[in-house]
Structure 1
C-alpha cells in the first residue's frame, strides 16, 4: 500500500496561509556563511527516533501498488542529473564549489521497495507542464527544492528562452517556449507574521490573505511548513501569537501549528477548484543537527537502517489530522523517512566558499545540517513529484 502520498478527502473546513521573516530568507538566498543559519539549525526536532512517518494509504488508484516512502538508497554512477554550475543555485547549497572534498552524496538514487521511480526527464516534464504554473510554497528548504527543480529542467531550455522574475515574496523561472513557470513563494509559517508595536513580531494564526494572494491562479501548488513552528524561545519566529482579539505570549507550538494549518486548509477549501488546481503538501525535511550541528559533519554515506524503533513526529500527526478534515483533496508527499537516512547530504561547513586558511579550521564554523547540497537529496523529491504529476 502506498505511503508516499495520501489522498485525503473528508469533511469541510480549515485554512491557513503564509509568512514573511525575510532575514533568514534573504541570508539563504544570497549564500551567506553557514554560521548565519543558526535560526534554523539550533533545534533538532527530528532525532533518530523520529525517522519514519507512517503515512495513510493513498486513494490514488495508479499508485496503489507502490509505497514510494519505503525503500533504500542505491548508488548510481549515472547521477547527478546536473552539476553545481547550474546558474540558479545559491552559494549556500553548492557544496562542491565551496570545497567539499567528496562527491558521492550526489550519486544516490532512491529505490522504493518493489517498484521504481522514473528517472527525471526534463523535456517530458516540461511537455506535461506546458502552459502551467507550478508553485512551491514554504521556507528555505522549499527554496532548496525549487532550485533543484529549476536546475533539473533548465538545461533543455534554450538560452534567451528562459528568464526569472520577482513579485513580492515570489520568484519565478519561466521556460518561455513551453509557457511554463516554476515558482517559489516565501511563506515559512503559511499564516501571516507582522510587525506590531515596538517592532514586536506578531504571528496571526487566523490571517492568510497577504500570503495567499500570490497562490491564486496557480495550477500546481506544493506546500511545506514545519521547521519555523518548532524553534526554541531563544530563536522563536515570533514574540506574540494572535487569534481574533486574543493575544498569546506562550502557546504550545503544536497547538499553534494546528491553528495555522487550519487557517491554510480553510483557505484552500474556500478558494481553490479541484478541477483546475492540484495541491500537494510535502512532509517535513529531517534535520541532523544534534550536538550543535556536527551530526552531519564529515558524513560520507547514507544510513542503511535506523537503530531505533521509529515513531511518528508530532508535526505529522497534526498535519494528517487537518488534511483529513478538508473538503479539497490534498496529496501528502512523504519524504521524511527517506531523507532521514541522508546525514551525508547536508552542506555542513561547506555552505560558503572558504580559502585554504579557513579550510584548516573547519570546526570553527557552524555546521548546516538542515538544508541540502545540490545536486542532492531534493532532486529525488522532485523525481517523486514528477511521478505524482
Structure 2
C-alpha cells in the first residue's frame, strides 16, 4: 500500500514537471519569435570618404568682383517641389520643400572631399590650401524642414550620366558649381579613366569609364557680349546683344543635361545693348542704354525662343540655378567692422534674412520663363538655391585664395577691396547645390 502511494506521488510529480517544462519551451519559442519580428532594421550604409589622390595644379582664371547696387533688404517667396516633381525614391512624402530648412553642423559626414585631394581644384576656390585658419565652413549639412537631402553619391551620379553629357552654361558661379561636381565624382573614377581639357570658353572633364562628360561653357549673359573671353573681362564696360544667342547656343545643342545660370554680371543699373549685326570692336558703333532688369527679360526671351526651336523635348533635361547669394555688406547681418565676409565662421541663424545683393525681380523673371517652357512640354526645373545660400556668410574665400598669384600683404590687409564674398570655398556650399541637382536628376 505504501509503495502504491509512493508510485502515485512520483507519477504526479513527473506529470507536473513535464507540464512545466513544456510551458517553458513554448514561452522561449514565443520570445524568440517576437524578437525576430521586432528586430530593428540594419543601420544605413555609410558612404566611404574618397581616397586621397595626387594633386594636379591647374591655373584658373581670376574670380572677378562686380559692382553691386545698394538696396533695401527684401524677402522672396520660396518655391517648393510639387507632388509631381517629388523624388519618390528618396522621399516618401507627397511633397517636400527642398529649399526651406536650416544648416546643421555635421563634422561626421562632411566635408565630402578635401580640397587637396581634388586633382582638378581651382586655386581661387581652395581656401584651406591658401591659409584659411578655420574649417567649420566645410562641415555644414543642408537640412530641409520636411525631409532629408541624401548625401551625394558619386557612383550613382555617374551611372545616371553614362554615355551622356552634362553642361553648365553661365558665369563664374556656374564654374564654381562645375568644379564642385568634378571634386564630388572624382574619387569614384580610377585615375587612368579621367581627364581634363581646358579650352576656353569650354572646359571639359571626361570620365572615360562611363563615357560621360561634365562640361562648363563660359557665357555670363547667355547671349553674346563683350565679356565672352573667359579669361579677360571688361567689368566696367558691359555690352550685350540681347537677340544674338546662336554663337553660344550651337555649343549646347544635343546635350543631355543643361544647367544654366546668369545673374552676377547684371548687378548694375543699366547695360549697353547693340543689334546683332554690330561689332563690339568698333568704337563708333551705336548702342542703347537699357535698364538691367529690362535687358535681363529680353535675354531670357531670346533664350526661351532658342530652346523652343532647337531643344529635343524627349532627350534634354534642363535646370536653371537660382541667384547665389553674395555677402559684401557685413552691416546687413549686424557686423559693423566693414570687413565684408572676412572672419565670418558661422551661418546666419535668422531664417528671414535676405541680403541686398539678391534682387527678387530677377528671380521672378526666371520663374516666368521656366513656367512658359514647362507649359509647352519641356523638362526644365528651377533649383532655388538663393535662400539657403543667403545664410552662408561664412562660406566665401574672402582673402584665402589665389588669382594668378597669391594676394600681397597690402591686399591681404585690405579686405574691403580684395575679399571675395561672391564665389564659394570648396568643399562647401556648391556641394549642396549639386546634391539638389542629383536629387532632381534621380526624379
Distance verdict in 2 for CA 1:324–1:350, change over 3 Å:
same
The 1-side partners of 2:261 and 2:159 are apart by 26
2:363 maps to what in 1? 316
The 2-side partners of 1:232 and 1:291 are apart by 22
The 1-side partners of 2:425 and 2:269 are apart by 25
The 1-side partners of 2:258 and 2:407 are apart by 40
Contact 1:284 1:335 in 2 (8 A): yes
Per-residue CA distance 1:128-162 (angstroms, 9 max, x = gap): 21111010111000000000000000112111211
Cα offset for 1:166?
4.0
2:327 counterpart of 1:297: no
Higher relative contact order (CA 8 A, sep 6+): 1
Gaps of 5+ in 2: 1-57, 88-93, 228-233, 279-284, 332-337
2:121 counterpart of 1:74: no
SS at match of 1:280: strand
The 2-side partners of 1:252 and 1:98 are apart by 39
Distance verdict in 2 for CA 1:387–1:161, change over 3 Å:
same
Max Rg structure:
2
Cα offset for 1:290?
2.0
The 2-side partners of 1:201 and 1:92 are apart by 23
Among 58, 73, 92, the alignment partner of 2:82 is 58
1:92-111 alignment, distance < 5 Å: 92-111=124-143
Among 234, 243, 255, the alignment partner of 1:218 is 255
Per-residue CA distance 1:261-285 (angstroms, 9 max, x = gap): 1000111111111210001101110
Contact 1:53 1:316 in 2 (8 A): no
Contact 1:31 1:351 in 2 (8 A): no
Cα offset for 1:37?
3.0
SS at match of 2:192: coil
The 2-side partners of 1:145 and 1:308 are apart by 23
2:243 maps to what in 1? 206
1:84 maps to what in 2? 115
2:210 counterpart of 1:178: yes
Gaps of 5+ in 1: 1-27
2:190 counterpart of 1:150: no
Distance verdict in 2 for CA 1:325–1:204, change over 3 Å:
same
Per-residue CA distance 1:140-198 (angstroms, 9 max, x = gap): 00000000000000112111211112455111100100111111010110011149xxx
Per-residue CA distance 1:309-352 (angstroms, 9 max, x = gap): 89971101111122222222420001000000000000111122
2:275 maps to what in 1? 242
1:350 maps to what in 2? 400
1:265 maps to what in 2? 304
Distance verdict in 2 for CA 1:371–1:124, change over 3 Å:
same
The 2-side partners of 1:268 and 1:274 are apart by 9
Distance verdict in 2 for CA 1:267–1:360, change over 3 Å:
closer
1:4 maps to what in 2? none
The 1-side partners of 2:176 and 2:258 are apart by 16
Contact 2:81 2:98 in 1 (8 A): no
Distance verdict in 2 for CA 1:360–1:162, change over 3 Å:
closer
SS at match of 1:344: coil
The 1-side partners of 2:408 and 2:294 are apart by 48
Distance verdict in 2 for CA 1:289–1:276, change over 3 Å:
same
Cα offset for 1:239?
4.1
TM-score (norm 2): 0.72
TM-score (norm 1): 0.81
The 1-side partners of 2:393 and 2:64 are apart by 17
Cα offset for 1:89?
1.3
Contact 1:93 1:372 in 2 (8 A): yes
Distance verdict in 2 for CA 1:31–1:101, change over 3 Å:
farther
Among 387, 401, 405, the alignment partner of 1:337 is 387
Distance verdict in 2 for CA 1:244–1:48, change over 3 Å:
same
The 2-side partners of 1:379 and 1:47 are apart by 29
Over the residues paired in the alignment, what is the CA RMSD in angstroms? 3.0
2:64 counterpart of 1:37: yes
